[in-house]
Structure 1
Amino acid sequence: MSVTKHRDKDIGFVEIDNPPVNAIGQAVRQGLLDAVRWAEQERLTRVILTGHGRAFAAGADAREFDGAPIEPHLPDVLNAIETSDVPWVAAINGVALGGGAEIAMACRMRIIAPGAQIGLPEVTLGVIPGAGGTVRLPRLVGLSDALEIITTGKPLVAADALRTGLVHAVEDDPVDAALAIPGETLACIVPTRELPAPKTDISLIAAAREKVAAKSRGQVAALRAIDVIEHGLDKPFGQALSMERAVFLELRSGEQARALRHVFFAERAAKAPDWLRSDPAEIARVAVVGGGTMGAGIAYALSNAGLTVTLVETDAEGAARATDNVARIIETSLGRGLIDRAGADDRRRRIGVTDDYSAAGGARLAIEAAFESMDVKRAVFARLSEALPSDAILATNTSYLDIDEIAASLPDPTRVLGLHFFAPAHIMKLLEIVRGAKTSDAALATGFALAKRLRKVPVLAGVCDGFIGNRILSRYREAADTLLIDGSTPSAVDAAMVEFGYAMGPYEAQDLSGLEIAHANRRRQDATRDPQRRYVPIADRLVALGRLGKKTGAGWYRYSDTGTRIEDPIVTDIVLAEARSAGVSRTVFSAEDIRDRLVLAMINEACDILHEGIAQSAADIDLVTVFGYGFPRWRGGLLHHADTLGAAEIVRRLGALSLEDPVAWKISPVLLECANDNLELAKWTRAPR
């Protein structure tokens, strides 16, 4: 049963029961509508509505969004609840999101458990609330809070829900509290639809639009939500609901909503592959080697998950730096309210820092996060192999290096895999799990189990230079440097990609991370670089001048004492000098030209990654680009976006570019196959070998 109901004397109890999260599909909507009629026929004095399990109702069933709306529609169900002669009380026992929050707002009273959350996250799926959220919420919490809640999509914890007036009480047992409400108190509470709408405040609305435009460039849902809220303030309740519903249905079928649903479902599906049947190792203690920014972040992430960590450095001085790095993360998390004092103390207890490998002897998993050098990593793995049990799993966090070469130096290479975290490791959700040629299924299963425990998005990758994400990133930067020497500027390239939806362009991002990282990788590739492939040495010139990015005050840009980015004529001079040396006749590239070339370069590289089996699916590449590299989520990830362009159109554009440079723009066999067969990249699979 999707909705269950029973009565005890004159009180009705209705429970949404649609595991795992009580999504509000057609059966739930029909069950609630039937419950309204049942309560009226039974002449009950109240109905207490709750959810089975740990959720009240976690929103609409997004799987229905790709088809026509199915009756009964949620707005009609909520109108029936709100206008019923029998008052309903929402006993919010767990998350009440989207339609779940809208159901609660249609009830006469709302009582929430201390650990529950309530909110309207619809804009994160490219739509707006579609069952009265934009109309009822302002009446309950006021215009300012309603604008913030709806445009950010962030749920409220119980205390904040009470503070804003969204709920009437916070109680340990909401059902018992709902039972205890005096009948006369319940009778005096005005239904939400009868509350007056707040007055229009032009300044508040303008500020909300400005904030959304700055934070959600290119996205339409939040701005449309503001429009609907504003227009509904001076309209009759029913007319405001109709306007909201029309915009919701329009956005639901739009490109951005489809893209965001794609990412939503891809993230939910990210897990160990079906063929992986081995049991993971039981992990309670983890060794992390390297206490720099990355290693400290990994250690902190592990402690967040309740694991005990031994953080190993090379000497006492390194251990002291590692201790400071961990302390800094803990204090930052404490300052941001992510943990309390007790949580901070717990993490300090869980992370022990040492320069003695033998102290890590009880770990069943080790994660190496040392300097990106093959010699360094092989030395670390040799010491780990000696210090840890023979069945302990050894993982490397390398971004580019050959995991098979690292593993070959050990007596048992089956123990080795890649766990490629992204900085900052305790915040970024992506985890590339890299399978070497001899990596055992047990090691892989342990990697996926760890990802789940850390609440990371796991993506299986094969061994190549850069795996999935960094290989695409390298091609992106190569294409950007080619544009630079051929006629563009760092600021023009960055601006074009920010307009596309990135938080920052490739040059600003390099200045933030440090130019020496990519420089070291280019030097590593010198011996194997294709002599026919064009090489642009501008970044090498900057590094030679000590311009390593923001941390040195200059990189692709110059930075003021306050950190303000300034275009630097020195960079312009270097670009022009290199163009003259290469015999380049510089031309002008429009923002559209820049975006087109950079996005096509990434798509083509991603398709080669698919073709080689480095990535298992287009959806995996979408997850990597969204969660690891800032590709705009509302475009659905790199290859979802490619499917909106169409393989045939991409092949046509790449064909034109290949006339300029047949090596760099060689068209991927996957794209050619999809263009010839009129096939989406999302549906492409490798032929059996």
Structure 2
Amino acid sequence: MNPSTRIERDGDVALIYINNPPVNAGSLAVRQGLLAAINEVAGDPTLIGAVLIGDGRMFIAGSDLNEFGKPLEDPQLPVVIEAIEQCPKPIIAALHGAALGGGFELALGCDARIAVEKTVVGLPEVTLGMIPGAGGTQRLPRLTGIPKAIQLICSGARIKAPEALDLGIIDAVVDSDLRGTAVAFVRHMNGKRRLRDLALPPVEQSCIDTASAHALRLGRNRPQVRAAIEAVLMATSLPIDQALAAERQTFQALRLAPEAFALRHLFFAERDSARLPEVSTAAAQTISTVAVIGAGTMGSGIALAALQAGLDVVLLEQSEQALEAGVQRIRDFYTQRVGKGRMGQSRADSELARLTATTDWTLIGKAGLVIEAVFEDLKVKQELLRRVEPLLAEHVLFASNTSYLDLDAIAEVARRPQNVLGLHFFSPANAMRLVEVVRGMYTAPETIASGFAFARRLGKLPVLANNAFGFIGNRIYAAYRQQCEYMLEEGALPAQIDAALEGFGFAMGPFAVADMSGLDIALRMRQARADSRDPRARYVAIPDQLCALQRLGRKTGAGYYRYDEQLRRHEDPAVTALIEQASRDKGIERQPFTDQAIVDRVLLSMVNEAALLLAEGVTTRVGDVDLVMVNGFGFPKWQGGPAFWAAQQDLAELRQRQEALAKVTGPGFVKGDLALFHHLHNRPVTAATA
């Protein structure tokens, strides 16, 4: 008896239960059990049909990704689906929880689909570097039409059952008694209803072209996006069996391509990032009201994220003028969403109604969590905590949004330092997914658990960092930006460095980012750390010189670049002259850089700093390094992150390049242990963190 499936009978209808906890992944054992059960139903004259249904919390959350980095064992999923279609009796899928990826393709292979209201369905394969490989690109278009299928498949969107019902993807939404309704559904069916036999809904070619162009733009023209569009379009020109075979061939090639390994690595890293004793064993507080102190860009963004998550928000500022500016930013967001049809006015009004904007400090006493998003100055944050804590109940948590200050120094002024943690959001806080949850020396496990729970409530990706300058992301970014500044002195220019890194896949190069953030932000950080800087270490004064000229970036119309009225960046001869003079002042003979040399140096600097972080215990997970850099700093996800990149390099060669980097950097450069990343080598995730 296969423990991954079991058959129960309800009179003349079989119920085939899928039992592979916790998410009923479509493993080899599940496929074997399903095939045997379907064949049993087909051969039993006392049965008129069957229901596929999941045990536990869901139907099938997807195929077992641990199998995808090696040869797939038979029976593979298309064989199971073919058995369903060849079975002379109707088989329907009864969905709850999630039916994703191979699980959704299995449901599409059935003769009908019913679902409870909160079920989500989707084909996320493209987000993992592949395309659906068990008929998703051929069966879904026969229900939704070609343009909508392109949109759903290329985005990897997950949609809820009511929307799926509107699109014709499922046949009924069930309030309760999924099993009983499914059995009745089988008894009322009149034979088979195979999707493969349906004609495609008619559509204008222009609609297909528009959907394809939109998908390619959003998907950054990645290979799997192009392949998914091509596969869907095969439904218009090829017999279905030929199209299914071609789809499978493309899927098999893509799942073994480097990009798919990188994306699976990130998938497993994200799953593992939450496996922490503090999160799994400590009791998290339930937070219904959050107070945000500071209504600037970051504070209003955090407040907006909390409003969208259904929380009540108290937004506090010292002045009415600053408060109104923050509230207006929030209002503008909702106005734009409603105007673009992405949100109904009633929902926008409901979310805004949960916002209390005030200059009255006593109102923060109703919050279960207080987040400060004020000026990045240690004394300012300490004084704020001293003022706030007496207004709070003993259980209320205090979070600092600091990006590089010492959390322990902030917590030292607290009466209850165990309640203090860092919640480092990334700008714009309502849109960026990453939150570094920072643990100080005083922070209680329950506080960390509450921070993780809060971040997840906001739909964010929480990653644990121990207290240290810059935590994970800004520490690595500082090392990477430093090497880019060295390259300015040595012969490169901002536009070349930015172009090389954007060509590699970064969302923006470091100098474009600096201009967007404001050069004065980094200047204040350098000034705050001036006393701790090694006087022997190489120091690049170019950013300081730009700030002295009031070239602070986009907000002043000039920084490393010059900006026009549309904020488009242009190279500036004045900056080139300043950089070349800086080289002459240090007696550095400028040399040309290739784009590849720039990329390699940046990646090596990231990897070296990440190794130091791991050795110091700032983070203990290699995968967390990649999650932070991909989700917070624009590292291209299809490259897997700096740690994953390092794992693909020859270790001896990487160490030679590290020696060269140490030599050109000079005093102050500390070499990290690059072997820390090579436990990933040659098994990019197939058994990595599963």
Q: 1:519 to 1:636 in 2, by over 3 A?
A: same
Q: Give the corresponding residue for 1:130.
A: 133
**C-alpha deviation, 1:267, in angstroms:** 1.0
- Contact residue 647 and residue 680 of structure 1 kept, 8 A: no
Q: 1:71 to 1:532 in 2, by over 3 A?
A: same
Pairing partner for 2:25 from 19, 23, 26: 23
Deviates more, 1:589-598 or 1:527-536: 527-536
Looking at structure 2, the residues matched to 308 and 60 of structure 1 have their Cα atoms a distance apart, in angstroms, of: 38
Q: After TM superposition, list the pairs within 5 Å mapping 1:185-196 onto structure 2.
A: 186-187=190-191, 190-196=193-199
Pairing partner for 2:78 from 75, 80, 83: 75
Q: After TM superposition, list the pairs within 5 Å mapping 1:257-656 onto structure 2.
A: 257-271=260-274, 273-274=276-277, 277-335=281-339, 339-656=343-660
**C-alpha deviation, 1:61, in angstroms:** 1.5
Looking at structure 1, the residues matched to 162 and 393 of structure 2 have their Cα atoms a distance apart, in angstroms, of: 48
- Contact residue 81 and residue 106 of structure 2 kept, 8 A: yes
- Contact residue 78 and residue 106 of structure 1 kept, 8 A: yes
Gaps of 5+ in 1: 683-689
Looking at structure 2, the residues matched to 432 and 522 of structure 1 have their Cα atoms a distance apart, in angstroms, of: 22
Looking at structure 2, the residues matched to 97 and 377 of structure 1 have their Cα atoms a distance apart, in angstroms, of: 45
**C-alpha deviation, 1:172, in angstroms:** 4.4
Pairing partner for 2:37 from 35, 44, 56: 35
Looking at structure 2, the residues matched to 36 and 568 of structure 1 have their Cα atoms a distance apart, in angstroms, of: 69
Q: Give the corresponding residue for 2:16.
A: 14
Counterpart amino acid of residue 269 in structure 1: D
Looking at structure 1, the residues matched to 475 and 152 of structure 2 have their Cα atoms a distance apart, in angstroms, of: 38
Looking at structure 1, the residues matched to 61 and 526 of structure 2 have their Cα atoms a distance apart, in angstroms, of: 47
**C-alpha deviation, 1:182, in angstroms:** 9.1
Q: Give the corresponding residue for 2:103.
A: 100
- Contact residue 553 and residue 559 of structure 1 kept, 8 A: yes
**C-alpha deviation, 1:478, in angstroms:** 1.3
Q: 1:295 to 1:195 in 2, by over 3 A?
A: same
Q: Secondary structure at the match of 2:558?
A: coil
- Contact residue 536 and residue 668 of structure 2 kept, 8 A: no
**C-alpha deviation, 1:279, in angstroms:** 2.9
Q: 1:20 to 1:463 in 2, by over 3 A?
A: same
- Contact residue 90 and residue 186 of structure 2 kept, 8 A: no
Pairing partner for 1:145 from 140, 148, 151: 148
Q: 1:144 to 1:450 in 2, by over 3 A?
A: closer
What CA deviation, in whole Å up to 9, does each residue of 1:37-96 have, x standing for no partner? 232223333333333455332211112223431222110000010121102223334432
- TM-score with structure 1 length normalisation? 0.90
Looking at structure 1, the residues matched to 634 and 235 of structure 2 have their Cα atoms a distance apart, in angstroms, of: 35
- TM-score with structure 2 length normalisation? 0.90
- Contact residue 47 and residue 88 of structure 1 kept, 8 A: yes
Looking at structure 2, the residues matched to 337 and 524 of structure 1 have their Cα atoms a distance apart, in angstroms, of: 45
Q: Give the corresponding residue for 2:62.
A: 59
**C-alpha deviation, 1:34, in angstroms:** 2.4
Looking at structure 2, the residues matched to 145 and 284 of structure 1 have their Cα atoms a distance apart, in angstroms, of: 37
Looking at structure 1, the residues matched to 61 and 330 of structure 2 have their Cα atoms a distance apart, in angstroms, of: 35
Q: 1:677 to 1:508 in 2, by over 3 A?
A: closer
- Contact residue 113 and residue 171 of structure 1 kept, 8 A: yes
- Contact residue 297 and residue 329 of structure 1 kept, 8 A: no
Looking at structure 2, the residues matched to 114 and 673 of structure 1 have their Cα atoms a distance apart, in angstroms, of: 46
Looking at structure 2, the residues matched to 117 and 560 of structure 1 have their Cα atoms a distance apart, in angstroms, of: 45
Looking at structure 2, the residues matched to 548 and 571 of structure 1 have their Cα atoms a distance apart, in angstroms, of: 13
Looking at structure 2, the residues matched to 541 and 679 of structure 1 have their Cα atoms a distance apart, in angstroms, of: 46
Cα RMSD of the aligned pairs, angstroms, is 3.2
Q: Secondary structure at the match of 1:71?
A: coil
Counterpart amino acid of residue 404 in structure 2: Y
Gaps of 5+ in 2: 686-690
**C-alpha deviation, 1:115, in angstroms:** 3.7
- Contact residue 647 and residue 674 of structure 1 kept, 8 A: no
Q: Give the corresponding residue for 1:47.
A: 50
Q: 1:15 to 1:464 in 2, by over 3 A?
A: same
Deviates more, 1:654-663 or 1:465-474: 654-663
**C-alpha deviation, 1:437, in angstroms:** 2.3
Q: Secondary structure at the match of 1:361?
A: helix
Counterpart amino acid of residue 39 in structure 2: R
Q: Secondary structure at the match of 2:402?
A: coil
Looking at structure 2, the residues matched to 230 and 663 of structure 1 have their Cα atoms a distance apart, in angstroms, of: 58
Deviates more, 1:127-136 or 1:596-605: 127-136
Q: 1:183 to 1:367 in 2, by over 3 A?
A: closer
Q: 1:584 to 1:195 in 2, by over 3 A?
A: same
Looking at structure 2, the residues matched to 360 and 587 of structure 1 have their Cα atoms a distance apart, in angstroms, of: 57
What CA deviation, in whole Å up to 9, does each residue of 1:228-256 have, x standing for no partner? 44556544433332332233223223322
- Contact residue 538 and residue 666 of structure 2 kept, 8 A: no
- Contact residue 610 and residue 616 of structure 1 kept, 8 A: yes
What CA deviation, in whole Å up to 9, does each residue of 1:391-446 have, x standing for no partner? 43322110011112222233443332211111222232222121222223333333
Q: Secondary structure at the match of 2:529?
A: helix
**C-alpha deviation, 1:338, in angstroms:** 5.9
Looking at structure 2, the residues matched to 237 and 676 of structure 1 have their Cα atoms a distance apart, in angstroms, of: 43
Deviates more, 1:286-295 or 1:6-15: 6-15
Q: Give the corresponding residue for 1:686.
A: none
Deviates more, 1:218-227 or 1:600-609: 218-227
- Contact residue 648 and residue 681 of structure 2 kept, 8 A: no
Q: Secondary structure at the match of 2:520?
A: helix
Q: Give the corresponding residue for 1:116.
A: 119
- Contact residue 651 and residue 672 of structure 1 kept, 8 A: no
Looking at structure 1, the residues matched to 202 and 367 of structure 2 have their Cα atoms a distance apart, in angstroms, of: 61
- Contact residue 420 and residue 431 of structure 1 kept, 8 A: yes
Q: Secondary structure at the match of 2:483?
A: helix
Counterpart amino acid of residue 132 in structure 2: P
Q: 1:415 to 1:151 in 2, by over 3 A?
A: closer
Q: Give the corresponding residue for 1:685.
A: none
Counterpart amino acid of residue 102 in structure 1: E
Looking at structure 2, the residues matched to 171 and 274 of structure 1 have their Cα atoms a distance apart, in angstroms, of: 38
**C-alpha deviation, 1:352, in angstroms:** 1.5
Deviates more, 1:365-374 or 1:305-314: 305-314
What CA deviation, in whole Å up to 9, does each residue of 1:499-536 have, x standing for no partner? 21112211222222222211221222222222222222
**C-alpha deviation, 1:649, in angstroms:** 2.4
Looking at structure 1, the residues matched to 213 and 603 of structure 2 have their Cα atoms a distance apart, in angstroms, of: 28
- Contact residue 200 and residue 230 of structure 1 kept, 8 A: no
Q: 1:225 to 1:639 in 2, by over 3 A?
A: same
Looking at structure 2, the residues matched to 182 and 55 of structure 1 have their Cα atoms a distance apart, in angstroms, of: 20
Matched residue pairs, number? 680
